[in-house]
Amino acid sequence: MSASQPVDTGLTRSATFLVFSVLRTDSSIQAVRRVLSSVPDIAKNISIRDVNANLTCVVGIGSRVWDSVTRLPRPAELHPFPEVRGAKQTAISTPGDLLFHIRAERRDMCFELERQLIEKLGDAVQLEDETVGFRYFDARDLLGFVDGTANPVGASDVSDAVMISESDDSGAVGGSYVVVQKYLHDLKAWRALSTEQQEAIIGRTKSDNVELDDADDGQQQAHKTLATIEDASGNEYAVLRDNMPFGSPSAGQYGTYFIAYSRHLWVVEKMMERMFLGNPPGLHDRILDFSTPITGSTFFAPSLRSLKALGDE
């Protein structure tokens, strides 16, 4: 049994998403190994200042630096985020060697953890993106819909969806693939739609979040249908999403930071293809008529024990 990092802490009021590239010198890689191994302790030191704030941090490591930074076996499916070029939008692939997914009920605790990380990482890394997310009412995205409802619930369903087992990949047990994408919304155009039109795009009702029926085969499918993945025998593959709204009204910036943890990378990639290319091809996810991805990166979050061992010489 290999415990995972705190992947399953659920949505909090506040979250910070940090993506860095690692400078490829021996000293930078050494420094990064030391900092990554101490993340659980840094988080613990801050979290004891208010244990009720549920501060956690998950570390993800990208394909490009996996071998040098971890010296662990390569997770079987790990590769960079593959661009998906659709008719309306392209799911672009952007640089990212390290991901820190910081969550807490208190913004100040996220801030403090980020401050200490930045100080310790120093010039071994280069910032690619920092996004500060917040809870919007009852966990709604900025399109106005409750986001996260279909997530697996309960320890066993969650670990089935996110945690790599011995039989999946014996060198990566207790870890998860993590995919992130930062989206900007055209809220003005979205708000020009009727509530019924918006509901048809998402596949749920807006006020009370009730699932709508799937469209017939060959018809335009809702987001929730395109994002439902089944294998040939009808088994459904769930992922764990912890999306957060972010933005700045004065700058006209309204976004969703998408983050999904999965036991199988192919499941998230299949969702991406169904959304961007459409199913059937040509009928892409209409969310993309109002949402543009500006980042896209894939990481692997190793087990807690593997992470802590990175500091060993």
- Listed residue (222, 280, 278) closest to 88, CA to CA: 278
Residue 90 lies near ligand NAG (rule: CB under 6 A) = no
231-260 binders of ligand NAG (CB under 6 A): none
Tokens of residue 92, six digits: 């672009």
Question: Coil, strand or helix: which one is 195?
Answer: helix
Sole binder of ligand NAG in the list 16, 38, 181, 220 (CB under 6 A): 38
Q: Pick the piece of the chain touching ligand NAG (CB under 6 A) from 41-49, 60-68, 175-183, 218-226.
A: 41-49
Q: Pick the piece of the chain touching ligand NAG (CB under 6 A) from 34-42, 61-69, 154-162, 207-215.
A: 34-42
Tokens of residue 184, six digits: 């900007």
Residue 41 lies near ligand NAG (rule: CB under 6 A) = yes
Which member of 8, 129, 141, 147 is catalytic?
Answer: 147
265 sits in which H/E element: helix 265-277
Q: Which does 227 bind (CB under 5 to 8 A by kind): ligand NAG, ligand HEM, none?
A: ligand HEM
- CB of residue 34 to ligand HEM, shortest distance in Å: 33
Q: Which does 52 bind (CB under 5 to 8 A by kind): ligand NAG, ligand HEM, none?
A: ligand NAG
Residue 42 lies near ligand NAG (rule: CB under 6 A) = yes
- CB of residue 39 to ligand HEM, shortest distance in Å: 26
Residue 49 lies near ligand NAG (rule: CB under 6 A) = no
8 Å CB contact between 25 and 91: no
- CB of residue 46 to ligand NAG, shortest distance in Å: 9
Tokens of residue 18, six digits: 């940090």
User: Site residues (CB under 6 A) for ligand HEM?
Assistant: 141, 143, 145-150, 181, 183, 202, 204, 223-224, 227-228, 239, 241, 256, 258, 260, 268, 271-272, 275, 287, 291
- Spatial CB neighbours of 198, under 8 Å, sequence gap ≥ 6: 143, 144, 145, 190, 206
Question: Coil, strand or helix: which one is 61?
Answer: strand
Q: Which does 45 bind (CB under 5 to 8 A by kind): ligand HEM, ligand NAG, none?
A: ligand NAG
Give the separation between CA 112 and CA 69, rounded to whole angstroms.
Answer: 25
Identify whether 147 is a catalytic site residue.
yes
Give the separation between CA 163 and CA 178, rounded to whole angstroms.
Answer: 11
Give the separation between CA 153 and CA 142, rounded to whole angstroms.
Answer: 24
Chain centroid to Cα 166, Å, comes to: 23
- Enzyme catalytic residues: 147
